[in-house]
């Protein structure tokens, strides 16, 4: 369902989901993005991660060589920005500006470490960039805990005219990057998995005055539309936050797209019967006022931790001869949705299908879930015992360890997509469930990359699992590191309390004296376990899918099974898809049309970050990636620096 809520007079209730704070001054439209720049973590406000550069292409990518590396003094997953030949990124408690051609430092801002200061953790995801105007110089904008900090882009010094010494306090912290549209900075919220706690509301702030412009209420309060989708469970409800690291913006229409994640807690919400809007939803709002425009819920009453790690990419596609503006979304469930980004209506069919019910006392089970009709899931969504690996698939030792796990768990119950966890009575024989994809996806925070010239969308989709059951919580027992309080029920398994156990086993088949795997592990169901996948958004068809990553503990002829983290790819006009993400410590380039691998580089650490491409002031094209805390740049030999 899509609705539009009109503006309200000052004596009426505010528009749905909007807490008005201040007016937004009129501003000129955003300037055209120079083709050699990379101005957001996804390059542009459309979040395409598409570079129009083609100096590096199918014909010559095999010659790509490392030209510089910058040690960041710590691990993060940041994607750098490049503006007019200068690269910006966070590194530990610093923000760095480098010459993007040489990797030489231009300036460094260092945030003092102070355990008593809530603004002592610089976001490890990246920074934002504001180009300034006739009266104000360009600024780098970064989250530091609950602080929003502005730095002069030329010097790295805090902008003293903003807030207090360059900072404003935003209240609830956020670990992503500010989305900058005109003079508006849109941020999300980092909340824990406690049922009751701070709201996960996205907010927007004026980059000149620091004033809060709007706040979107993700759990509708009493009297607001959709409040009834929570029963009485809306009061003080936490989660339902935008933890994703950017909110795409349709700059032509001034629409921001907020990916709202599941409410807390993840695995039991019997106290909130209903579909629980706006959790697990894409919500479109006016970027300057926060006025609600439409929403689309991808999961009703989420019991699978299938939250929204990214919103998706904004491109135009041609369907039945008609050009349609869409947002292409795929998340942890691995289901690929295409929505009209103006109305929220699916442009390719979506149908509600019945899904299995569970038996946890007091739980609400939504009878249906939305399924795309044309595009199949991009990851494994079901499993039977016949899908287990054999000695011929992996190793005899691994297969035996998997069988032992199956027996210990009492087998694993799964009856297809959205299988809920069964209830386990304390002391009863184990009755285990397996959920596919698991809580990390599917497609996680790396999200898609999209070529706006072809309508092709590229993702790293991996097959993960979660196993166990839901049980009545034991008093005084911690079930999860990200929750200090629990609901009446929570996740556990034969391996212990908490949600983090999967159906995987050591390839060696061995465990140490503390029951820890000896050597690398691998899933216990048949591979491939991760794929780089290309979807034609004009038709919804999967054009190609290739295993992504080697599992080097396996025999050499069985290693190409796919082994990735949560990062995603980048696509270029040179016909290339670049992707790190793999646990085999490699950076690769694939042919965007065929999926054939054309190049790879060995790394000292896994590059679980999104790659990017830019042009230095010399005109030369580079490709860069953050490889486990080292920023590395690659280019073709010769042709200047």
Angle at 254 between CA 252 and CA 255, to 5 degrees: 110
Kindly give, in sequence order, each residue whose CB lies less than 8 Å from that of residue 598, ignoring residues fewer than 6 positions away.
58, 61, 62, 576, 589, 590, 591
Q: What is the pLDDT, as a whole number, of residue 158? A: 98
Q: Are 286 and 254 in contact (CB under 8 A)?
A: yes
Q: What is the pLDDT, as a whole number, of residue 14? A: 38
pTM score, two decimals?
0.94
**Residue 94: burial class (beta carbons within 10 Å; 0-12, 13-18, 19+):** middle
- HSE value, Cβ hemisphere, 13 Å, CA-based, for 259: 28
Q: What is the pLDDT, as a whole number, of residue 124? A: 95
- Torsions phi, psi for 85 (to 5 deg): 80, 5
Angle at 14 between CA 12 and CA 16, to 5 degrees: 130
Q: What is the pLDDT, as a whole number, of residue 32? A: 84
Q: What is the pLDDT, as a whole number, of residue 639? A: 61
Q: What is the pLDDT, as a whole number, of residue 641? A: 60
Token digits of residue 403: 């069988």
Sign of CA pseudo-dihedral 255, 256, 257, 258: negative
Q: Are 260 and 200 in contact (CB under 8 A)?
A: yes
Neighbours of 396 (CB within 10 A): 11
CA 190, distance to chain mean position in Å, is 13
Token digits of residue 483: 């929750």
Q: What is the pLDDT, as a whole number, of residue 471? A: 96
Long-range contacts of 399-406 (CB under 8 A, 24+ apart): 400/509, 401/505, 401/506, 401/509, 402/503, 402/505, 402/524, 404/505, 405/503, 405/505, 405/524, 406/524
pLDDT, block means (10 residues), the chain with 641 residues: 30 41 37 92 98 98 98 94 98 96 98 72 96 96 96 98 96 97 97 93 98 98 97 95 98 98 95 98 98 98 96 96 97 98 98 98 98 98 97 98 97 97 96 95 97 98 96 91 86 91 96 93 97 98 98 96 97 98 98 98 97 97 97 88 60
Token digits of residue 168: 């404003």
**Residue 297: burial class (beta carbons within 10 Å; 0-12, 13-18, 19+):** buried
Q: Are 104 and 67 in contact (CB under 8 A)?
A: no
Q: Which H or E element spans position 96?
A: strand 94-99
272-287 burial: b if 16+ Cβ within 10 Å, else e: bbbbbbbbbbbbbbbb
Strand pairing category for 50-51 and 570-572: parallel
Nearest to 454 by CA among 275, 636, 328: 328
CA 9, distance to chain mean position in Å, is 37
């Amino acid at each position: 369902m899509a609705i539009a809520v009109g503006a309200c007079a000052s004596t009426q209730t505010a528009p749905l989901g909007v807490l008005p704070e201040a007016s937004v001054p009129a501003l000129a439209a955003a300037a055209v993005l120079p083709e050699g720049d990379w101005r957001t973590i996804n390059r542009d406000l459309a979040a395409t991660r598409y570079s129009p550069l083609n100096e590096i292409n199918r014909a010559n990518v095999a010659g790509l060589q490392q030209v510089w590396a910058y040690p960041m003094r710590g691990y993060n997953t940041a994607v750098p920005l490049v503006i007019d030949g200068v690269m910006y990124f966070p590194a530990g408690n610093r923000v760095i500006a480098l010459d993007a051609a040489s990797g030489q430092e231009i300036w460094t801002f260092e945030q003092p470490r102070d355990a008593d200061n809530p603004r002592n953790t610089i976001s490890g995801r990246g920074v934002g960039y504001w180009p300034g105007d006739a009266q104000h110089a360009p600024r780098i904008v970064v989250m530091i805990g609950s602080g929003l900090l502005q730095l002069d882009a030329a010097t790295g010094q805090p902008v003293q005219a903003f807030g207090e010494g360059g900072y404003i306090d935003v209240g609830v912290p956020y670990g992503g990057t500010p989305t900058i549209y005109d003079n508006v900075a849109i941020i999300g919220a980092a909340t824990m998995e406690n049922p009751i706690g701070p709201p996960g509301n996205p907010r927007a702030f004026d980059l000149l005055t620091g004033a809060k412009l709007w706040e979107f209420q993700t759990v509708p309060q009493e009297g607001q539309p959709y409040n009834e989708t929570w029963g009485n469970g809306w009061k003080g409800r936490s989660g339902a936050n935008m933890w994703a690291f950017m909110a795409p913006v349709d700059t032509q229409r001034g629409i921001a797209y907020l990916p709202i994640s599941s409410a807390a807690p993840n695995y039991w919400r019997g106290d909130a019967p209903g579909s629980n809007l706006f959790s697990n939803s894409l919500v479109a709002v006016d970027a300057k006022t926060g006025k609600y425009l439409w929403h689309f819920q991808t999961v009703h009453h989420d019991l699978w931790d299938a939250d929204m790690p990214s919103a998706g990419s904004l491109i135009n596609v041609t369907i039945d001869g008609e050009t349609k503006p869409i947002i292409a979304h795929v998340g942890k469930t691995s289901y690929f949705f295409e929505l009209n980004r103006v109305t929220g209506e699916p442009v390719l069919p979506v149908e509600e299908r019945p899904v299995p019910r569970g038996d946890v006392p007091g739980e609400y089970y939504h009878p249906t879930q939305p399924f795309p009709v044309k595009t199949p899931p991009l990851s494994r969504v079901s499993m039977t015992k016949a899908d287990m690996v054999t000695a011929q698939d992996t190793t005899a030792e691994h297969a035996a360890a998997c069988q032992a796990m199956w027996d210990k768990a009492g087998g694993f119950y799964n009856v297809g997509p959205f299988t809920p966890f069964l209830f386990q009575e304390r002391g009863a024989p184990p009755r285990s469930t397996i959920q596919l994809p698991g809580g990390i996806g599917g497609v996680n925070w790396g999200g898609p990359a999209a070529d706006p010239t072809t309508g092709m969308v590229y993702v790293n989709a991996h097959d993960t699992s979660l196993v166990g059951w839901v049980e009545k919580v034991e008093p005084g027992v911690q079930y999860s590191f990200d929750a200090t309080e629990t609901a009446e029920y929570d996740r556990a398994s034969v391996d212990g309390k908490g949600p983090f156990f999967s159906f995987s086993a050591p390839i060696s088949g061995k465990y140490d004296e503390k029951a820890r795997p000896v050597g690398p592990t691998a899933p216990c169901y048949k591979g491939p376990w991760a794929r780089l996948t290309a979807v034609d958004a004009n038709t919804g068809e999967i054009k190609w899918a290739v295993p992504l990553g080697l599992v080097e503990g396996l025999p050499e002829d069985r290693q190409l099974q796919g082994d990735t983290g949560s990062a995603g790819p980048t696509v270029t006009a040179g016909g290339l898809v670049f992707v790190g993400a793999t646990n085999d410590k490699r950076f690769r380039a694939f042919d965007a049309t065929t999926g054939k691998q054309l190049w790879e580089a060995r790394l000292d650490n896994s590059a679980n970050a999104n790659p990017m491409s830019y042009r230095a002031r010399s005109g030369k094209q580079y490709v860069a990636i953050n490889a486990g805390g080292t920023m590395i740049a690659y280019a073709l030999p010769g042709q200047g620096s």
